[in-house]
Amino acid sequence: MNPWLQAGLSLLVGVLTATAALVGVRVSTRGNDRATTQRELAARREEWWRRFVWASELALDPAPVKRVAGLKLLAKLAQSELAARDECLLLDVFQGRVLDELLEALAEPEQS
């Protein structure tokens, strides 16, 4: 076999191998990046939920100042990009319930 042909084929095989390895690395890196992004989003949504629980506990506190602070925090949480449609519906119902209780509590002394 011609030595130039053999050298050319060896070079071609080496270039194809290196190209395939590079493509494989890029594909696996993209997959890892996507998984990392999903994990980060899940962690951020988990933290959003912890803040919701904290704000809702404040909103249900007997002290009016804490209730107002809790309601304001809930309003801020509703503005977050992490609050999906279901979370916004939950916030709406929860705030409505707390506000109704506050209005009833304010109306009771007047009725007495």
Asked if pLDDT for residue 91 goes beyond 60, the answer is yes
Q: What angle do CA 98, 53, 106 make, to 5 degrees?
A: 20
| Phi, psi of 84, deg, nearest 5 | -80, 180
Domain range enclosing 74:
3-111
Q: Give the Å distances, CA to CA, from 11 to 17, 28, 32, 43.
A: 10, 26, 32, 48
Confidence grade of residue 96 (pLDDT, cut at 50, 70, 90): confident
| Phi, psi of 17, deg, nearest 5 | -65, -45
The candidate with the shortest Cα–Cα distance to 73, out of 101, 46, 106, 48, is 48
Q: What angle do CA 104, 107, 111 make, to 5 degrees?
A: 125
Q: How many domains does the chain have?
A: 1
pLDDT tens-digit series, residues 23-71 = 888 887 776 778 888 899 999 999 999 999 999 999 888 888 898 899 8
Alpha carbon distance 84, 65 (integer Å): 28
Confidence grade of residue 112 (pLDDT, cut at 50, 70, 90): low
